[in-house]
């Protein structure tokens, strides 16, 4: 069973503190998945959610992938870096 942490992006959007918090949570070996809910105050359309997801993965590096479902972003950490 994999654990899944939950976070929210609010009216401040993506801040450096938020990105550092994601990175810190992935440092623990038991955290391989994080669900990020994008609140109404942080988005205007679903395109904003995908833009947030791409920015987060670019910040984290190539060991991470994302999937957007509705207004949620699911991040996954892999053992090996993915090919670009």
Name the DSSP class of 77: E
Percent of the chain residues topping a pLDDT of 70:
93
Domain residue limits, the chain: 3-77
Task: Provide CATH code, domain 3-77.
Answer: 3.30.110.60
SS3 64: strand
Q: pLDDT tens-digit profile of 5-15? A: 899 999 999 99
CA–CA separation, 11 and 41 (whole Å)? 5
Closest of 83, 27, 16, 29 to residue 56, by C-alpha: 16
Across the range 46-75, mean pLDDT stands at: 94
In angstroms, what CA-CA distances link 19 with 1, 22, 29, 36, 60? 26, 5, 18, 12, 8
Question: pLDDT tens-digit profile of 34-60?
Answer: 999 999 999 899 999 999 999 999 999
């Amino acid at each position: 069973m994999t654990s899944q942490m939950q976070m929210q992006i609010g009216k401040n959007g993506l801040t450096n503190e938020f990105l550092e918090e994601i990175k810190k949570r992935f440092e623990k070996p038991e955290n391989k998945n994080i669900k990020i809910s994008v609140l109404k105050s942080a988005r205007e359309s679903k395109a904003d959610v995908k833009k947030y997801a791409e920015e987060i993965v670019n910040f984290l590096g190539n060991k991470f992938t994302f999937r957007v479902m509705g207004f949620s972003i699911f991040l996954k950490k892999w053992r090996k870096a993915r090919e670009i």
